[in-house]
Amino acid sequence: MKYTRILTGAWLLCAAFAVYAAGNIPSLPTGFDSSFVQTRTLPGFNLPLVSRGTLHIDNTHGFRWEITSPYHYVFVMNGDNAQEQLPDGTIRHLNPEQTPWLAAVEHIFVSALAGDRTDLQQYFVVIVTQLPKGQRILLTPKPGPMANAINNILVTESAPGHPQRLIIKENSGGSMDIRFGPESRTASGS
Amino acid sequence: MHLPAAARWTIWLASLGVLCGFAWTRLDVQHPINTNILSLLPGERESPVIAAATERSRDAFARQLLVLVSGEDTLQTRSAALAAQQALLAAGLHMDDSGRELGRLLNTYQTHHFALLNAAQTARLDKDGENAFATDVAVSMASPATMVNVFESDPGGYLNRFISELPRPYPDFLPDGPYLTAVRDHQRYYLVNMELRGSAFAEQGATLAAHAVRDAEAAVHKVCAGCKFQATGASLFTNAARDDAQHEIQWLTIVSTLLIMALIAFVFRSLAPHVLAALQLVASILAASAAVIACFGSIQILTLVFGTTLLGIAIDYAFLYFAEYWFGDSAPQSVMRVVRPGLFMGLLTGVVAFAFLLLAGFPALNQIAVFSVAGLLEAGLVVVLIFPVTLTQPSHVAVHPAVVWPQRFIKLACRPNRWRYLLPALALLLAIPGWLRLHTSDDVRDLQHFPQQLTQSDQQIRNTLGQIPPPGYFLIEASDLEQALGREETLFARLRQTLPDATLLGLSRFLPSVMQQRASLSAWKRIFASPPALDRAFTHLGLPVELATRIESEWRAAPHQPLSAQSLFDAAPDLKTFVIPAGSNVALLASVNSRADINPVALQQAAAAVSGVSFVAPLTRITDTFHRIRVRASWLVIIGYLLISALLVWRYGRREALRMLYPPLLALGVTLGALGWLNVPVNIFVVVALILILGLGRDYTVFLREGGARLQSSALAVTLSALTTLCSFGLLALSQIPALHAFGLATLIGILASYLSAPLSLPPTDGVLE
C-alpha cells in the first residue's frame, strides 16, 4: 500500500541507527563504566547546553545513562525493557520500538568496546586513524535516510575499546559532544 | 412450419444479429467482463462506499510483491538483496520513490509541530504547565533516546516522538538503506518491497511479476549461492492459479473434445453432426452472452463459468434430432414432426426452470437465468429453423450395434421384475448415511488450488515479517472529515486496550483531529502566556533562560492554526488512500495489523462500539454472498421443479408425471449421498452441477416418454447426451482445482445415475406406452 512507503520513509529518518537493535548487538567482552560531560549545541543557538553524568554498560544490567547535573535524570535499557526517571522523579516506561535511538546508542558504544566494526562499515564510511593510544574513528553515513540527519560521528579512544570522546554532528548545524572522564575504566563483562 | 431455406436462414441470422446489435449498444466497453465478485451481492450496489473501500484495500494488498533474501553472512546477503532488487526493477517492477514526498511531509509536520501533541502530552502540559515543559526539554537534551535533533526546532522532542510513533509496516524489521532487515535464528534477512503498477489479477501483471521473481532468484543465487530466496504476492498466486487452470483446461478440453468427436463420428459416421452441433453451440453462447449484456451492460465472470452448463443441455436437442434423422423411421422431412413434442417439452421445462432464477433477486442468479434461457431458446431455434433445411437427404448410415444397444438397455430396464424396484431402493439406502455426512462450504478459499511451495513461502514470509494480513478493514463514515477523524481516534483508543500489540493504520495517525490539535495549541498558549514563569521553570532545572526565550519566539512565529487535511495531502498525496469518496459525506479506511491472526469478532465489537464505524471483512462478504446464492438457488430449483411437475401433470397426467419426476430426484439423492460418502462439501459449484443433473435428467425422461422404448432414436439421443456430458463435465472430476473437481464429481455421479434411472420413467411393460 502506498502509505506504507510513507511510513517506512518517515520511520527510516527517525530510526537511522535502529538497524543495530536487538539481535545485532555483539556481546561485550568487558563492561564500561565512566563519567561523562555532554555538550549539546542547538542550531541557531549559541549557548551550549552542558550536562554531566555517568554511563554504565554490561551484559547483565544493560545500558544505564544517568545525568547528575544540572538536574537528575536516569535512563535504563536492558533488552526490550527501557525506562527513564524524569527530573521531577516520575518514572516513565518507554517502548524501544518507538525510540530507535536507544538501540543505536547502545550499539555504537558496544561495537566500539567489542572492537567489532564490521556492522558499522555497512552503514558508514569508516575512516580509522591510529593514535598513540587507541584509534580515532570517523563514521560518515552512507547515502540514505541516516545521511539526512547526521553529518558524521567521531569516536576517539583513550585505549583500544575505550571510547574517550564521541561527537555527533547534525546536518541541522547542531552537535552532541560527549567526553568521558579520565576515570573511565572497564568493569567485569557480567 | 413450411418456410423456405432462405427464409429460415434469414430469420435466424436476423434474430441473432438484432440481439447482438442491441447488446453492442448496451455494452460497457470499459468493463465488458465484470470480475468483481462482490457486485454479486445485492446490498453492494447500495453501498458504493464499501465497494470503493474494498477495491482500494484489495488493490493495495494485491499490487505488493515481497521478496525476502536470507543468509548467514550479512554482507553477502545484502549484496544478494541488492542483486534481487536490480533484477526486479529491470523486469518492470517499481520501488519506493517517495523520498521527495517524505521531505515535504516532514516539513509540513515541522511547520505545525505545536499542533501535534498527543492527548497524554496535552494533558501533562495542561496539568503541570511550564514545569512539565521544562522537564521535557531537559529530558530531550539529556536522553540518549533523542541524542540527535532530527528537526531544527523541536523543543521537548515532541515532534521526534510524533514521527517515531507513526505506524511501522513491519515492526520486527529495521531500516538499512533501501531495505528493511532483521536477524532470525542466526540468519540475516533483507526485505525487498516492490510494487506492481498494473493489476495483479490481470494476465500481464501476473506474468510480469512471475518473470521478475524468476530473474531475481537467479540473480540472488549468482551473487550468493548459499542465500535463500523467497517471494510472495497476490500476482504470484494469480499467475500460479492461471497456469494451473490453463494447463488443466487445455488437456481436459482436448481429451473431452476428442472423445466427443470420436463418439459422434463412431455413431453417425458423418461430418454433418459435428458442424451442426458446433453451429448450435456457438449460436447459443453468442445469444446468451448478448442477452446478458443487453440486460446488464456487462457479463459476470461467474455467469460465463456457470453458463457453460448450458452447453450440456443445449446439445441434447441436437442429439434428439440427429438420432431420429440418422436412425429413426421418419423421412428427413418428417424428423422435426417426430421430435417436436420431446424437443418442445424439454425446452419448455428447461426455460421455466431457469426463468425461475430471475426471482432470486441476486444479480448473479439473474444473469445466469437470462444467459440460460436465451441460450436454450437459441439452441432450440437452430434445431427448428436450420436442421430441417440442412439435413434434407435420407441418411445412408446403416444401423450398427452401437445404435441398437441403448434401446436394448432401455427395454431390459423396463421389464417388470423386482430388480426394477430393489436396485433404486438399495441405492437410496446406501445414500442415506452419505446424506447424514453431507456438509456445506461457501469459503472461497476452499475453491482454489495453489502450489504448496508458494503457500509455504507466503506463510514463512508473513511469519518472518511478523505481519499477518488483517481479516478486513474499518470503514469510518461521518458527515465531515473532522467527525470521521474523531471517530477513528475513539476506535483506535478502544483497539489499543483490546489489542495492545497490534499496529493501527489510519489517517488519524498522520493527522490528529482538529479538536486534538486545538487542545495541543491551547496547551502551548497557556505555557507561553507567562514568560517569567517559564523562565523560572527553566532556571530551576539549570536550563538557560535564553533557550526558553528562543522557544517562545518560535511559538510566536509559528502558525497557530491546526494542520489541515488539504495541507497534509498537498505534502503527501499518497495519504489520500485513506479517504474514500462518499458523496457529500466522508469515509475513512483504517486497518489493523498484527503478528498473529486477529479474531474478527474483536474487531467487529470494537467497530460496533463507535458510531459510524463498521468492520468490513471482504472474504467473509464473498463467503456470505456464495452462501446466500447457494441457498437461494437451491430453493428456487426446488420451486422450479415443482412448477415443472405441474407442466408434466398437465401434459402426461398425474401418474405418468410422477413416474417421470422420480428418476431425476433419485439421481439427485444418489449424487448427494455419494458426495457425503466422499466427504466433498456442497458448495455453489455443486449446486450448479445439481441444476445440470436435474435439467438433463428431466430431458432424458421427457425424450424417453415421448419416444418410449419403441424408438431407438430416443434411446440413442439420451445415451449420447449422457456420454457427451460425462466426457465433458465428468472429466472435471480429475481436476486438481477443488471447485472444478467438486463440480465434475457431482456431474459424473449425477449423470450416470440419471441415465441409469431414466428407464424408470417408463411403465414396467417392456417400455411399451399405453
pLDDT band at B621 (very low <50, low <70, confident <90, very high): confident
Q: Is pLDDT at A13 greater than 80 in this prediction?
A: no
Q: Looking at domain B1-27+269-398, which CATH architecture does it have?
A: Up-down Bundle (1.20)
Whole-Å CA distances, B666 to A17, B32, B698, B708, B756? 73, 40, 12, 20, 10
* Contact at CB, A71 and B142, closer than 8 angstroms: yes
Give the distance from residue B580's alpha carbon to the nearest chain A alpha carbon, in angstroms: 14
* Contact at CB, A6 and B105, closer than 8 angstroms: yes
User: Average pLDDT, stretch B215-223?
Assistant: 95
Spatial separation of the C-alpha atoms in residues A184 and B596, rounded to whole Å: 46
pLDDT band at B222 (very low <50, low <70, confident <90, very high): very high
pLDDT band at A17 (very low <50, low <70, confident <90, very high): very low
B697/A95: higher pLDDT: B697
A88 and chain B: CB distance < 8 Å anywhere? yes
The letter for the amino acid at A124 is F
Nearest to B449 by CA among B649, B243, B269: B243
A187/B180: higher pLDDT: B180
B225/B767: higher pLDDT: B225
Question: What is the reported pLDDT for B40?
Answer: 60
Give the distance from residue A81's alpha carbon to the nearest chain B alpha carbon, in angstroms: 13
Write out chain B residues lying below 8 Å of A170, CB-based.
148-150
CA atoms within 13 A on the CB side of B666: 27
Parts of chain B belonging to CATH 3.30.70: 472-512+569-616
A6 and chain B: CB distance < 8 Å anywhere? yes
A9 and chain B: CB distance < 8 Å anywhere? yes
Query: Is B391 in contact with B335 (CB distance < 8 Å)?
Result: yes
Query: How large is the angle between the packed helices B481-498 and B600-608, nearest 10 degrees?
Result: 130
Under DSSP, the state recorded for A175 is E
Query: Is B694 in contact with B637 (CB distance < 8 Å)?
Result: yes
pTM of this structure: 0.71
Q: ∠ CA B560-B563-B566 to the nearest 5 degrees?
A: 135
Q: Which stretches does DSSP call E strand in B305-400?
A: none
User: Average pLDDT, stretch B445-453?
Assistant: 79
Question: What is the reported pLDDT for B304?
Answer: 72
Q: Is pLDDT at B13 greater than 80 in this prediction?
A: yes
User: Average pLDDT, stretch B299-304?
Assistant: 73
Write out chain A residues lying below 8 Å of B141, CB-based.
40, 49, 51
Write out chain B residues lying below 8 Å of A2, CB-based.
60, 98, 574, 577
Spatial separation of the C-alpha atoms in residues B307 and B691, rounded to whole Å: 11
- A163 - beta bridge partners? A157
Give the distance from residue A187's alpha carbon to the nearest chain B alpha carbon, in angstroms: 21
Q: Is pLDDT at A147 greater than 80 in this prediction?
A: no
Give Rg (Cα) of chain A.
17
Q: Is pLDDT at B230 greater than 90 in this prediction?
A: yes
pLDDT band at B437 (very low <50, low <70, confident <90, very high): very high
Query: Is B676 in contact with B435 (CB distance < 8 Å)?
Result: yes
B311/A185: higher pLDDT: B311
- pLDDT over 70 percentage in chain A: 58
Write out chain B residues lying below 8 Å of A163, CB-based.
none
Domain B472-512+569-616 has CATH 1.10.3720: no
Whole-Å CA distances, B517 to B117, B210, B523, B680? 7, 46, 10, 58
B546 and chain A: CB distance < 8 Å anywhere? yes
Spatial separation of the C-alpha atoms in residues B725 and B751, rounded to whole Å: 7
Q: Is pLDDT at A24 greater than 70 in this prediction?
A: no
Asked whether the CA dihedral A163, A168, A169, A174 is positive or negative, the reply is negative
pLDDT band at B176 (very low <50, low <70, confident <90, very high): low
Query: Is B724 in contact with B318 (CB distance < 8 Å)?
Result: no
Query: What length does chain B have?
Result: 770
Question: What is the reported pLDDT for B214?
Answer: 94
Q: Give the DSSP per-residue string, B260-284.
A: HHHHHHHHH-SSHHHHHHHHHHHHH
Q: Which domains does chain A have, with CATH numbers?
A: 2-180 (2.50.20.10)
B187-195 vs B179-184, strand pairing mode = antiparallel
Parts of chain B belonging to CATH 1.20.1640.10: 1-27+269-398, 404-462+618-770
Is A130 in a helix, a strand, or coil? Answer: strand
Question: What is the reported pLDDT for B504?
Answer: 87
User: Range with the lowest mean pLDDT among A22-26, B124-128, B440-444?
Assistant: A22-26
Query: Is B62 in contact with B235 (CB distance < 8 Å)?
Result: yes
B108 and chain A: CB distance < 8 Å anywhere? no
Other CB atoms within 10 A of residue B521 CB: 22
A65 and chain B: CB distance < 8 Å anywhere? yes
Residue in A3, A6, A75 closest to B143 by CB: A75
Q: Is pLDDT at B52 greater than 90 in this prediction?
A: no
B174-176 vs A73-78, strand pairing mode = unpaired
Instruction: Return mean pLDDT, chain B.
Output: 85
Domain B404-462+618-770 has CATH 1.20.120.530: no
C-alpha cell at B444: 472461497
Which residues have CB under 8 Å from B450's CB, separation 6+?
B237, B240, B241
User: Average pLDDT, stretch B601-619?
Assistant: 90
Q: Is pLDDT at B521 greater than 70 in this prediction?
A: yes
Question: What is the reported pLDDT for B712?
Answer: 78
Q: Which of B144-153, B319-328, B573-582 has the highest mean pLDDT?
A: B319-328
Q: Which of B150, B170, B185, B546 to mutate to test the interface with A (most CBs of A within 10 A)?
A: B150
Other CB atoms within 10 A of residue B642 CB: 11
pLDDT band at A143 (very low <50, low <70, confident <90, very high): low
pLDDT band at B598 (very low <50, low <70, confident <90, very high): confident
pLDDT band at A6 (very low <50, low <70, confident <90, very high): very low
Q: Is pLDDT at B43 greater than 60 in this prediction?
A: no
Other CB atoms within 10 A of residue B384 CB: 20
Give the distance from residue A70's alpha carbon to the nearest chain B alpha carbon, in angstroms: 5
Nearest to B356 by CA among B33, B666, B646, B709: B646
A40/A120: higher pLDDT: A40
* Contact at CB, A23 and B182, closer than 8 angstroms: yes
Which residues have CB under 8 Å from B116's CB, separation 6+?
B109, B158, B159, B162, B512, B517, B520, B563
Spatial separation of the C-alpha atoms in residues B589 and B59, rounded to whole Å: 13
ipTM confidence score: 0.78
Spatial separation of the C-alpha atoms in residues B724 and B258, rounded to whole Å: 11
A75 and chain B: CB distance < 8 Å anywhere? yes
A11 and chain B: CB distance < 8 Å anywhere? yes
Under DSSP, the state recorded for A180 is E
Residue of B nearest to A1 (CA): B60
Which residues have CB under 8 Å from B417's CB, separation 6+?
none
| pLDDT tens profile B359-394 | 766 777 788 889 889 999 999 999 999 999 999 998
Query: Is B683 in contact with B742 (CB distance < 8 Å)?
Result: yes
A86 and chain B: CB distance < 8 Å anywhere? yes
| pLDDT tens profile B528-571 | 998 999 999 999 988 888 888 888 998 999 889 999 999 999 98
pLDDT band at B302 (very low <50, low <70, confident <90, very high): low
Cα–chain center distance at B222: 38
Instruction: Return mean pLDDT, chain A.
Output: 70
Q: Give the DSSP per-residue string, B62-113.
A: HTEEEEEEEES-HHHHHHHHHHHHHHHHHTT-B----HHHHHHHHHHHHHTG
pLDDT band at B206 (very low <50, low <70, confident <90, very high): confident
Q: Which of A14, A105, A151 to mutate to test the interface with B (most CBs of B within 10 A)?
A: A14
